[in-house]
């Protein structure tokens, strides 16, 4: 009896070794073999159930052989598992092979907004002329936006600024000129600043109007500043932005905060000054307001007009960008359409 069982186990062992060492075992088959041989109800355990009629020594003997076989099978199965794992890893590696000849994906680069391009050019020029950057709030009060700039409440110039009011006294600044006032109230002369930023007016939107737009403002105050200084710096500035071949013209004008005042024109780049539709057949394009700081403004900020003179200027950045790049609709600046932005 014992010998017969031992023989059967031996046969099973040989069969098992062959199966567990065979080449093309996959994970699933290996799992079912493990259950078949080593499972609680597996073949090896089934031998132990047949031992009831045997003596204790015989039981021990068979038990030993069964256990040795279990240990052997377990080892073989574990070996096989590692082998399969290795093969699968190798396969994964091969599938993941990187083809270095595939062309790369082109990532899209960002673009500078044209208004930023212009603002940087403007800063560049004026920093080179030893101006520094000043800042002021977009929410202003009546005093800085109008009163101190010599624009009294009943002054007709207020019609030029269709103002967005927050309350009776508080408003969205209609120009960057209040930064002149804030700067002069905060420091003693000499002053050499530019400022740039958003301005607001109660305009209906069309191709040349937007209720929010940008301005650059400049202010220079010192002893013996003359209209000649203003003309010199602004002529150099216009040529830097638009090109050396462009002509610059100063036309008498009026602003409450400057006296005398001028409107600055650049010769039309499309017709070279001959006159065309773009310049209204005048050969000139208006680009900014400027003038000598009005003594009334100096008085408002506590500067002595008999000791100091100065000039100021202000311009719309959208307008400069539109003229420079031949953009015919101001709304394009705010839509952020990449087809537009990618051109600058």
Out of 114, 189, 289, 310, the only residue in the binding site for ligand DAH (CB under 6 A) is 289
Q: Which stretch binds ligand DAH (CB under 6 A): 92-100, 112-120, 294-302, 308-316?
A: 308-316
Q: Which two tokens stand for residue 138?
A: 């977009």
Nearest to ligand DAH of 47, 255 (CB atom): 255
Nearest to ligand DAH of 37, 303 (CB atom): 303
Smallest separation (angstroms) from ligand DAH to the CB of 175:
3
140 binds ligand DAH (CB under 6 A): no
Smallest separation (angstroms) from ligand DAH to the CB of 261:
6
Calculate Rg over the CA atoms of the chain. 44
178 binds ligand DAH (CB under 6 A): no
- Collapsing DSSP to helix, strand or coil, 236 comes out as helix
CA 200 – CA 163 distance, rounded (Å): 7
Q: Which stretch binds ligand DAH (CB under 6 A): 130-138, 223-231, 289-297, 319-327?
A: 289-297
Nearest to ligand DAH of 69, 177 (CB atom): 177
Q: Which two tokens stand for residue 49?
A: 């159930």
Q: Could you tell me if 290 and 234 are in contact, meaning their C-beta atoms sit under 8 angstroms apart? A: yes
Of 186, 183, 181, 197, the residue nearest 138 (C-alpha): 197
Q: Which stretch binds ligand DAH (CB under 6 A): 11-19, 164-172, 288-296, 329-337?
A: 288-296
Out of 172, 312, 320, 322, the only residue in the binding site for ligand DAH (CB under 6 A) is 312
290 binds ligand DAH (CB under 6 A): yes
CA 134 – CA 177 distance, rounded (Å): 11
Of 307, 306, 324, the residue nearest 316 (C-alpha): 324
217 binds ligand DAH (CB under 6 A): yes
Which of left, alpha, beta for 291 (phi over 0: left; psi -120 to 50: alpha)? left
313 binds ligand DAH (CB under 6 A): yes
267 binds ligand DAH (CB under 6 A): no
131 binds ligand DAH (CB under 6 A): no
- Between strands 284-293 and 258-267, the pairing is antiparallel
258 binds ligand DAH (CB under 6 A): yes
184 binds ligand DAH (CB under 6 A): no
CA 278 – CA 323 distance, rounded (Å): 9
CA 92 – CA 86 distance, rounded (Å): 10
255 binds ligand DAH (CB under 6 A): yes
Smallest separation (angstroms) from ligand DAH to the CB of 101:
60
Q: Compute CA distances 176 → 124, 218, 302, whole Å.
A: 19, 9, 20
Q: How many residues bind ligand DAH (CB under 6 A)?
A: 11
Q: Could you tell me if 287 and 171 are in contact, meaning their C-beta atoms sit under 8 angstroms apart? A: no
Residues that bind ligand DAH (CB under 6 A): 175, 177, 217, 255, 258, 289-291, 312-314
């Amino acid at each position: 009896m014992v010998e017969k069982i031992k023989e059967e186990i031996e046969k099973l062992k040989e069969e098992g070794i062959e199966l567990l060492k065979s080449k093309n075992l996959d994970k699933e088959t290996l799992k079912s073999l493990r259950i078949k041989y080593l499972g609680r109800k597996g073949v090896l355990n089934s031998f132990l159930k047949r031992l009831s009629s045997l003596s204790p020594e015989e039981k021990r003997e068979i038990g030993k052989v069964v256990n040795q076989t279990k240990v052997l099978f377990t080892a073989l199965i574990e070996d096989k598992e590692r082998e399969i794992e290795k093969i699968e890893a190798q396969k994964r590696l091969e599938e993941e092979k990187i083809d270095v000849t595939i062309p790369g994906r082109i990532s899209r680069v960002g673009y500078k907004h044209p208004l930023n391009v212009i603002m940087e050019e403007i800063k560049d020029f004026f920093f080179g002329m030893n101006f520094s950057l000043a800042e002021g709030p977009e929410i202003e009060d009546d005093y800085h936006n109008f009163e101190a700039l010599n624009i009294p409440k009943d002054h007709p110039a207020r019609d030029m600024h269709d103002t967005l009011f927050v309350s009776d006294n508080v408003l969205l600044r209609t120009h960057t000129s209040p930064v002149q006032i804030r700067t002069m109230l905060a420091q003693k002369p000499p002053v050499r600043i530019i400022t740039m930023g958003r301005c607001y007016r109660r305009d209906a939107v069309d191709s040349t109007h937007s209720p929010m737009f940008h301005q650059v403002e400049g202010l220079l105050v010192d002893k013996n500043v003359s209209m000649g200084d203003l003309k010199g710096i602004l002529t150099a500035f216009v040529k830097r932005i638009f090109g050396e071949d462009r002509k610059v013209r100063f036309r008498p004008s009026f602003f409450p905060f400057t006296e005398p005042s001028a409107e600055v024109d650049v010769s039309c780049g499309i017709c070279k000054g001959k006159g065309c539709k773009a310049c209204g057949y005048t050969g000139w394009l208006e680009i900014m307001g400027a003038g000598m700081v009005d003594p009334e403004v100096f008085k408002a900020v506590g500067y002595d007009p008999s000791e100091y003179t100065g000039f100021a200027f202000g311009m719309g950045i959208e307008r400069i960008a539109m003229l420079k790049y031949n953009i015919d609709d101001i709304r394009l600046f705010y839509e952020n359409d990449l087809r537009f932005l990618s051109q600058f």
